[in-house]
Structure 1
Amino acid sequence: MGSGSSKKAKQLEAEEREFKKRNMQKGKAIDDEEEEEEVGEDGKKRKKKQKDDEFLLGTCKGHKGGINCMGINEDGNMIITGGEDKTARLWNLATFECTKVLKGHKGYLTCAQILDEFCYTGAADRTVRKWTAKTGVCELVIEGHAAPINRLICTGDFLFTSSYDRTAMCWDPDDGELLHIFRGHRRGVTPLMYIPAEDALKDDVVDIESNRDILVTGSADGTARSWNMDSGDSLVTFKGHKGGVLCLAADSTGSILFTGSADCTVRSWNINNGEVFKVFEGHQSAVVCLQVMNKLMYTGSSDQTAKCWVTEFGDCTRTYQGHKHTVSTVRFRDGLVYTGCGDNCGRVYDAKSGALKRTFKGHEYCINAILVMPQKMLTASHDGTAKLWDCSGIKDEITSFGDEEEEKERKKAEKEEKKRQKELKKKEKKEKERLEKEKKKKPSNQTEDRESLPEKNNFEKSEKEPEEKQDTGKEDGDGLDEDISREIDMINKDMDDL
């Protein structure tokens, strides 16, 4: 790298330190102002601060400057912290004692990791160091970058680093041999993500050497890139963001890449061909951290919120509010969302409802890193301390709360169902009445028809009866006339006799 790159790296480093300083000062001011009200015996409201140790289990003290990074071993009983004082420290979580101070770096530390019996640290002095955790002895110094190192990942077989010098590098962690230099980004490289073959799509993600391991990098140039692990060539460039890529994640299959950016959005990509699946819009400022769990994604932003998204559809389902500064880190575990913030506080939310369940106050400056363990949360701050917090009972509260909510919802549903059934019965009654009315009208017509037919028959009969009577009368009349004639003849005969 030329002197121009070196100047640029120094400028970026100075900007980063200035940002942290402002962040620290603002966080202190917020902490001084953030107070809760209580009502005294005289009925007057007074302000009081939450007790710093209300949920505090222990504090790791010893750094002479801010803590920038933190890592934990597989057993969960030891952590490593790296700070502004150019040292890394190992801590026993059972006693909160510093067991080893790792000295040797000539610049502030930016990243740290524990893997098996070794520790790995990266710093602004452009080097990576490998330490024996048991003795605290530096076993290896790895040099090659031309600017401060931003991130490191050690897999056991490979050690990956990213730097402001616009490159990422792959090293042999045993002897420090440089295996690959990944060149292509036009600005500094920050986030790194390694997807081993067993996590990647075994049929779709295939490079020219048939190596399915994938390294992904994000850069301030607004792009992310995937790399061939054998040749060091760029496989796919994920281009579309209008700001630097600040964080990376992948789904459980290793087939979908997620990138968070300074342009306030997150994008999901086909990791094989770079096709954009979804653009997640909703944050009002840079997205600085993210985590993908199953079909959900959790993001933290400098807009002072964290959010939950459905990865398949791009919809924001929850917004976790209450922060008063940048949400620097976010983690999901067992139905809870944990956040670290520039306002000096750690927080725990119910992932489903978005309700704030617990706030951890006690740090004097911004929180730069968190670790989540069963029933516990670790926070590392720019005040030079790491604190372990009690998270027990939160899940029970949420379960109880959830049961109550479910009961309320059930009763509400029952009430609505009863109302609906009542309206339905009312409607059915009206319909029945209407049908009965129509039915009454129809039978009356039929009755009239039935009645009109006999009447017609009777009329016809009556019409016929006179004729029959007339005919009958003619027959009867003939007999009557004969009788009358006989009587007249008899009368006439009597008259003649007289």
Structure 2
Amino acid sequence: MDEAELPECPVCLQAYDAVSAIPRVLTCGHTTCEACLKQLPNPFPNTIRCTVCTLLVKFPNSPSSLPKNLDLLHLSSVLQHLHPQGNKKVISPSSPQANGKDQSVLFPSALKSWSYDFYCKWKKWVLPGDCISIEKVGSESDGGVVCGEVLKYFQSDYMMGCVLREKEHVGLVRVGAFVESEEDSRIFKASYESRILTVLYRMEEEERNKLGIILNATLRVSNVGKVFGFWCNEDDKCVYMVCEKIASPNLVKCVLKKKEDKDERLSSDEISALAMLCMEICEILSRLHSEGLVIGFLRVSCFGFNDLGRVYVDLGEVLNTGRRLHMAVRKELSDLEISLKDTFLDNDIMFISPEMLLNCFVKEGFKFDWGKSRYEVGCASDVWSLACLLVRLIVGSTFVEEMEHFLHFVVNAIKEEKGCDYSGLCMRWSEKIAVLLEGRLASEYASLQDILYRCLGFDPGNRPVITDLWKCLRELVVKPQFDTGLMLKQEGKNMNDRADVELRVDEDVVQGLSRGHVKCTEMKGHLDCITGLAIGGGFLFSSSYDKIVHVWSLQDFSLVHSFKGHEHRVTAVVFVDGEQPLCISGDNENVICIWKATIPFPEEPVRKLHEKKDWRYSGIHAMAISGTEYLYTGSGDKLVKAWSLQDYTLSCAMSGHKSVVSSLMVCDGVLYSGSWDGTVRLWSLSDHSPLTLLAEDKPGNVGSVLSLSMDHHLLFVGHENGSIKIWHNDVLMKSTQTHKGAVFSVSKKGKWLFSGGWDRTISLQEISEDVDGMEVTPVGSIACNSTITALLYWQGKLFVGQADTTIKVYHLQNPFLQIKENVYKYSVASCIVDDTVTMSDAWDHEPE
């Protein structure tokens, strides 16, 4: 067995002892050494932020008054006695563990070692064990691709529209293996669910995050094969990611019906067909880029056609193709050329960018003389692959021959290990491809020849962005004189700058407002004033004085369902994203209704809670949640109450306010409560003790707090007198008179601050910080026809609740293009994810 590691401080990483690194236990239960506790900053008096869970907890003046962790001290002394040198296990970068490839889990290493939050996050992706069987396992030459068959109907409560039907074929991508020794299995047998969660939990966090990005992207990006979840095979104990499998004709034969070897030019109809096909692929890739996903290669079999004839990406095929690529690269040098030819140059040719191929070799331990620079895989890699696919469709089988010559030179350069001018090699190859294109395309398509030549360049930074390629293809379909009403914005940044170029009108609703590209959609269904908005599970939930909570679709803003269980005015609503998604609403008679928030929606609440009523004060005015642990309510009795979301009991009541608690907000381990007494109080989420009080020192200048919004370290407070105050910790940074009347709602997103209230306007301000302080710049306002009672900003859209029963949605207009009798709609997500995942890194998790 491996030697046990010494317990160490999570800050300085020094092994605990009784002298220099004394372990002290914080009130949240986590341990940090005494020396580090003395140096950690104190954001508020007598508080400290735990280095493990990041909660604000009570902290005495001297850390030596905290209790010692005697168990860790004893364990550390025992291990140091057994292993005096205290050597720590080091994983070299070239080891399988460091590369994330050995994902076998030996059980039992720990029984249910994951947290409840981890369980809630991944449990929804676990598929029943009896709903799938393995139908076919491919040979080693084709990457060992596994296909499955659905045994019985299954519909996910979490993913709308994701249904597994009986006899349907699915793709299976292996993500790990669960191993039990015979001796352990005789004593204890892990449950099916535990096996899947254990494999996921034992993954490196980076690899698990990549899987999470892929799962979420498949829900948000259309025309991409869906991932249904994870399934564990009882026979081989392997955990598979279950993907939608697309059955469609060969892409090449479908597009080009003529013989590929004919040395004649393509007709205008064939060029238009190719252009329309690749335009759709451009859009799909751009949407994936916006979700942080880069494929890095393309293969003909990765694409198909759905029932409407639109291009579809088979995600399972993409992941399995990446597995096959890595297997080919791992071959010995003597078999390297044969293995790569079998992988790249079969009937289903693979187009992999130079930087992708060379980086794959580096990950497998090969060394290169990169010369001046080494290029990373990014969005430009997909541009290279897409250009190769288009050239393949135009040129035909001659292109495959040139690819074989190119691959031969690359393999020889790797074998010699003497360094190679890869840039010059790629340039000579692309010049040959340009000659082939000239023979197949007429002179009127010179612009297409030019952009394809530039797309095949070695330096990703010099390749055209995907918008340029899309626009060039579009001009082949729609003549400029018929091109009206479509506006594209180009951002010429490459992936090395962590940015992308997308086919879109604008980044979000803010930029769209200044250019007149914003559309306002009205959602009508309530009969009285809107009091609250919440988003979750793909739906918008709205509460109203009409005693009803409406559920709206975020796709077309239509009314989906109505929760009717309150007998009095509903004043607040929140969404809980747990194992069982919940919608929770409260009314002005202290009744809390808890609803199941998944399809099919229930007619009756799951549970009803009743706050204790006081004849002087009544009504719930505000609600907030802390993950899946607590529901917090602010009421007319001046109290903030914490309700357990596990057993729905009242855990505690926090007192301190001198009037109605009108607003609540949870952020970074702190509960913020605003009151009509003009103050904001901060409470610790760990033990619900008071942390500090935010109030102005000026007497007689009290304005009731009506709304709160939190963004990292800044707190935005809307008051009854029309002012908005900005706090940093316990320091008032800025106070602006924004509205003429009460500010009922404040919403901060990025650098933009939205606010609305009694004066029937939505104010937009830009918040900027620098070394000299904070600046609040008024940008503009939106005039409304009624009082603004609720604001919610989500994915570039601004949702506005009004007193006249209407909900308005301000969002970007989607560009559209009409070609002959068919209407094609091009729309791309309008935000860029910072952490970009290359799909080639996200599949290879089984043991070598």
**Structure number, greater radius of gyration:** 1
Instruction: Flag the structure with more relative contact order, 1 or 2, with Cα contacts below 8 A and sequence separation at least 6.
Output: 2
**TM-score of the superposed pair, with normalisation by structure 2:** 0.30
Structure number with the higher strand fraction is 1
